[in-house]
Each structure stands twice: as structure tokens, then as C-alpha cells.
Chain A
Amino acid sequence: MSPSAAINQLADDFALFSDWEDKYAYIIDLGKHLRPYPEQYRTDEFKVRGCQSQVWLHPHVEGNTVHFDADSDAVIVRGLIALLMRVYDGATAKEILDTPTDFVRTLGLADHLSQNRANGLAAMLKQIHLYALAVQSRLESASS
């Protein structure tokens, strides 16, 4: 699924929630079921600096798509990571760069994003974009 299709799907899912508790119960559930993070990458090198909780992010390329492993010690952050991975994991670098990051706001998670500046999620979004940028520029310089 392309990032934009994934965002539309998420928007449909979130439209079903009538209050914050349902929304959070869903995010917490996603967090509990996030795929396991490879332990060899739980190092300072892959740590996204945050104040409130710890976040690890390991981006890598498989073929012509970008993949991510990520984890946090806070389950709500893990749930938000799961949302980000639905959008970005397995996309091409160009697709990632073409996807605006404001979907987190349009999903009604804006309140949380302002906090996430502190707990590392905004930093993670930025890292994903920077990684995609690096991959894309390598592709472009190889083809030129």
C-alpha cells in the first residue's frame, strides 16, 4: 500500500472513534503488538534522543524500498510508531519524501504531537525523512 493510501485507511479507521479513550485504547493495542525490535540495534547509535521516553529507530533499504524497525519503552509511543510504520514501512524513498508529515495532525493526533516533540516521535519523523532523503540522493547520483 502506498503511503497516501495508508493515510486514507488510517483516517477511515480513526473516524470510527467517538472519544479520546477509544482512540488511545486502539493506539495502546497497536503498541502492544508492534513487531519485535532486533536487539542488535538497541544501541545508542540508533537511539532517537527524547526527553520523556526512549525511542530506537533502525532504517534500512531492501531492494528499492525503505524499511524501518522501531521501538520505545512507552507503549503509547510504540502505538504511534506502529501508525508511522503503516505509512512509511516498505515505501520507496521518493514516496516517503512526497508524503507530507502533517497527516499526524489530520488524524486528530495533534495534541499528542506537541508532546511528542518532547518524547521523540517528531524527531523520529524527521529521521525517517532524512534517511529517505539520503537514499534518494544516492539513487539520483548513481543514475546521473
Chain B
Amino acid sequence: MTTTSTYDVHTVRAAFPILQRTVHGGKPLVYLDHAATAQKPQAVLDAIGHYYRTTNSNVHRGAHALSAEATAAFEDARAVIAGYVGAARNEEIVFTSGTTDGLNLLAATVLTSAQPGDEILLTEMEHHANIVPWQMVAQQRGLAIRVVPVRDDGTISVDDVASLLTERTKVFACAHVSNVLGTINPIAEWSALCQANGTRCIVDGAQAIQHCSVDVQALGCDAYVFSAHKLFGPTGFGVLWARYDFLDALPPYRGGGAMIDRVTFSGTTFNAIPMRFEAGTPHIEGAIGTAAAIRWLQEIDTTERIAHEDDLLRHTTAAMTAMDGLTILGTASHKVGIISFVVDGIHASDIGTLLDNMGIAIRAGHHCTQPLHQRFGIDASARASFALTSTREEADMFVEGLAKAIRMLR
């Protein structure tokens, strides 16, 4: 804890019932897998419970009291989310099932007028969810995929981005924050390059949304997608923000109820945005729970919580750097509290299994970033990831547990 901060991690932490539990026969849970999913504060659990106890009804349809209330809560959630990311209009917010769904929607709709030989630019640090949908559309339309390399420290050179943007680059799809390296990419700089080049800049915000203060106007990108479950909200719900004119020009993605204007067997006309992209009954409590998560998070000072996570990152990194045979993947000066690492001669899954038995939850594997792991010449890595609820005590337990696991495995 820094002495100048008024940030009280124990108060913040007390809002999370799950963090009070034990695992493996009474060991306190040390949850350091926040990059996979964040835990949920009581306010989110209450909002979802309250919705089902008092309001449950289908939205945008019924002419009755419950439906009107559910619709109001649902659209209020859209406004809260729009405000949180700095959208110019509520209509710029499309509800999805998550980051993956948002990226698939964009990949399927943004390139409908692309010509064979046109290019999609990705980075080497992308999650499979920001690679595979683009590969699918590239294959269908004969487009080329180009990749911006990652440097040894886990950063990307802006010159490399500039030199790989050609007159044929229609889309640059990139992560705001790497789920392995923790690197915070300079999206505003990249967006400016894209804009000057006539390229759409589409940002995977899955990892950034929990840690960074996201303002889509300042970032200057064309679209930004994220999952609610990484923002202390429910699973199965996500957000796609896109600039109004850009979004409004996109064709429908999935067909069904709610996304139509008028349907006849000779043809259908489509609803306005965002409804055009929200076919079917939506994840109503997902939207309501996400709005509750944002309201809860807004009660906490952003600068202080980011400083707290940064302190944990630096404290833990320093301790791990001193460990023999351990290499941290991603040492950018500008990164979030995600520490991926490998240990000479030891498989990441063995480290994960032993730490799990000590009550410490981390992740081992390729973290859905096989190309990035190939770039570093490895199959798998172990990853510890902090959140605003993580404590110095937990960081120390992790470091001690890791040292013990390495001793047992050597």
C-alpha cells in the first residue's frame, strides 16, 4: 500500500462474497485469475436478483407494466454503458454476448465491400477471438492478413504499424491491452494513423476494460468491444461500441425478432441501430448487471485503484525477477497487472496445479494466443493477474507459493 493513497483495498474487497471463501480444505482463496474473469460485487448480484424478483419480463414488446419497467431498466443500462465509455449517443452501443461475439459481428459486416487482395492488419499479440473471425472473412473474400510484430519486451513499434498500413488496408484490428503481456497499446496513436490511411481501427478492449479508464473519443478508434464479465458484470453479455455513422452503414448480421422493421415473405426491412444488431430476446439481466457493475466501480477513485494495481504489479514483478530461471513475458513500462511467465525446465501446468493446491488460482496454458506463444518460442505460460481487490498479502502468498512450487518441481 502506498502511504499517500486513501485507497482501502479491504473495504473494496469486502464487497465480493466469493473472495471470502476457502478452497482445498480451508485454504483462503487467493484469486489471481482476473484476466480470465473478474469476480462480482454484491451490488451486481443484488441488481440481477432484484430484476428477477420484481421486474422480469420481455423488453421492447409488451404493453404491460412489467415489460415497460424491464425496458426502462434495459435502456437505462445502455445509457450507463454509453456514458462509461464516452459514446456520443446511446445508439452507438450494441449489446452482444461478449467480446468474441462483437468481433465476429464486425468481421462479418465491415468488409462486405472489400475486394480480393484488400488487407486486414492484426498484431502478433492478438487473442484468437481477434484473429479467427478475420481469417474466416479473409478466406471467404480473398483478403490478405498482415501482422504487426511484437518486440522482445512485449511492445509494438508505432513505426511498424505505420509501415504495414497500406492503401489496401481496410481494417486494423488490435488489442487495447494484451491478455498475456499486459501491454497497454497506444491506441490513440494507432487510430490517428488509421484515420489518415482510411483504415477502420477496431479495438479489442476485453482486457483493458477492467483496468483502464476507457474513453472512446480520446482513443479515436472506430469500434471498441468488450465483455461484461471482465468488468465485474455477468457472463454472456458484452458491448460493442461503434461510431454512429460507421455502425449505421453496416448491414444486419443475424436475423430474427427485434432487428426488423417489417417482414413479408417477399422481403424484410430492418430496424435502426442498435436494434438492427440485437436479434432475439436479449440478455436483459446481463445489461442490468453490467450497469450495476459500472455504478459500483464509479464509486471508487479511478486514479487510486489504477495506482493500487500498479503497485501490486511492480511489487510482484520485482520479487519474480529475482527468481532463478524465471522469465516474465512482457516487460513494457506501460502495462496492467497481468504477469505471464515461464520457468526453465518446468511446465506451466505443473506450477498451476501446485499453486491451486495452495489455494492460489492462476492460469496455465496458451491463453488463446498461440501465435504470440510461438513468437516467444514456447507452448504455454503461467499467468497471474490482479484486480483492484488484490492485496499485497496475496501477492506475497503467490510469490512464496511459486518459489515452493518451483522447489518441488526441480
Chain A interfacial positions (CB closer than 8 Å to B) = 20-21, 24-25, 28, 51-54, 73-77, 111-112, 115, 119
Number of A-B contacts (CB under 8 A): 44
Residue with the highest number of chain B CB atoms closer than 10 Å, among A20, A24, A52, A111: A52
Pairwise interchain contact A53-B380, C-beta atoms closer than 8 A: yes
Query: Is B357 in contact with A24, judged by CB distance below 8 angstroms?
Result: yes
Residue ID in chain A nearest B357 by CB atoms: A20
Q: How far is the CB of B377 from chain A (nearest CB, A)?
A: 14
Check if A75 sits within 8 Å of B365, measured CB to CB: no
A53-B409 contact, Cβ under 8 Å, with A20-B24, A20-B357, A73-B379 = no
Assembly CA distance A15 to B24 (angstroms): 18
B332-366 interface (Cβ within 8 A of A)? 346-350, 352-354, 356-357, 364-365
Cα-based distance from A54 to B348 in the complex (angstroms):
11
Q: Which of B346, B348, B357 has the most CB of A within 10 A?
A: B357
Given contacts A51-B365, A53-B380, A75-B409, contact A112 B24 (CB under 8 A): no
Give complex CA distance A21, B380 in Å. Answer: 24
Does B65 touch A at the CB level, under 8 Å? no
Residue of B nearest to A31 (CB): B350
Q: How far apart are the CA atoms of A20 and B347 in the complex, in Å? A: 19
> Could you pull out 15 A-B pairs where Cβ atoms are within 8 angstroms?
A20-B357, A21-B357, A21-B408, A24-B354, A24-B357, A28-B350, A28-B408, A51-B365, A52-B365, A54-B379, A74-B347, A76-B349, A77-B350, A112-B353, A115-B353
Contact of A25 among B348, B349, B350, B408 (CB under 8 A): B408
A52 to B350, CA, bound (A): 9
Residue-wise interface mask of B (368-387) relative to A, using a CB-CB cutoff of 8 A (1 in contact, 0 not): 00000000000110000000
Residues of B within 8 Å of A119, CB to CB, are 349
Range, interface on chain B: 10 to 19
Q: Which 4 A-B pairs have the closest CB atoms?
A: A74-B347, A52-B349, A53-B349, A74-B349
Q: How far apart are the CA atoms of A54 and B350 in the complex, in Å?
A: 12
Known: A20-B357, A53-B349. 17 other contacts (CB 8 A): A24-B354, A24-B357, A25-B408, A51-B365, A52-B352, A52-B380, A73-B347, A74-B347, A74-B349, A75-B347, A75-B350, A75-B409, A77-B350, A111-B24, A111-B357, A115-B353, A119-B349
| Chain A residues within 8 Å of B380, by CB | 52-53
CA distance A24 to B357 in the complex (A): 10
Min CB–CB distance A76 → chain B (angstroms): 5
How many angstroms from the CA of A77 to the CA of B349 in the assembled complex?
9
Task: For residue A34, give the distance in angstroms from its CB to the closest CB of chain B.
Answer: 14
Chain B neighbourhood of A21, CB < 8 A: 357, 408
Q: Report A14 CB to chain B, min CB distance, Å.
A: 15
In the bound complex, CA of A77 to CA of B346 (Å): 12
CA gap between A119 and B363 in the complex, in Å = 13
The B interface is mostly helix, strand or loop, or mixed, namely: helix
CB distance from B217 to the nearest CB of A (A): 39
Residue of B348, B353, B356, B364 ringed by the most chain A CB atoms within 10 A = B353
Q: Is the CB of B356 within 8 A of A115?
A: yes
- A96 to chain B: closest CB distance in Å? 27
- Which of chain A's residues have a CB closer than 8 A to the CB of B409? 28, 75
Complex CA–CA separation, A21 to B357 (angstroms): 9
Residue numbers in B under 8 Å from A28 (CB-CB): 350, 408-409
Q: Looking across the interface, which residue of chain A has its beta carbon closest to that of B347?
A: A74
Which residues of A are found within 8 Å of B354, using beta-carbon distances? 24, 76
CA distance A74 to B408 in the complex (A): 13
Give chain B residues whose Cβ lies under 8 Å from the Cβ of A52.
Answer: 348-349, 352, 364-365, 380
Let me know if A76 and B379 touch, CB within 8 A. Answer: no
Bound-complex Cα distance A12 to B354 (A):
23
Provide the residues of chain B in CB contact with A51, threshold 8 Å. Answer: 365
**How near does chain B come to A22, taking the closest CB pair, in angstroms?**
11
Cα distance, A51 to B346, chains bound together (Å): 17
Q: Which of B246-294 contact A (CB under 8 A)?
A: none
Q: Which residues of B contact A112 (CB under 8 A)?
A: 353
* In the complex, chain B residues whose CB is within 8 Å of the CB of A115: 353, 356
Q: How many angstroms from the CA of A77 to the CA of B357 in the assembled complex?
A: 15
A111 to chain B: closest residue by CB: B24
- CB <8 Å contact, A76 and B357: no
Interchain CB contact under 8 A, A24 and B408: yes
How far, in Å, is A54 (CB) from chain B's closest CB? 7
Q: Which residue of B lies closest to A52 (CB)?
A: B349
Q: Please give the distance in Å from B26's CB to the nearest CB on chain A.
A: 12
| Cα A10 to Cα B97 with chains together (Å) | 47
Q: Which residues on the B side are within 8 Å of A111 (C-beta)?
A: 24, 357
A residues less than 8 Å from B348 (CB atoms): 52
B358 nearest CB neighbor, chain A only: A20
Complex: how many Å from CA A53 to CA B349? 7
Q: How far is the CA of A76 from the CA of B409 in the complex (A)?
A: 9
A-contact 0/1 string along B313-348, CB 8 Å cutoff: 000000000000000000000000000000000111
Whether A53 and B347, one on each chain, are in contact in the complex, defined by CB atoms closer than 8 angstroms, is yes
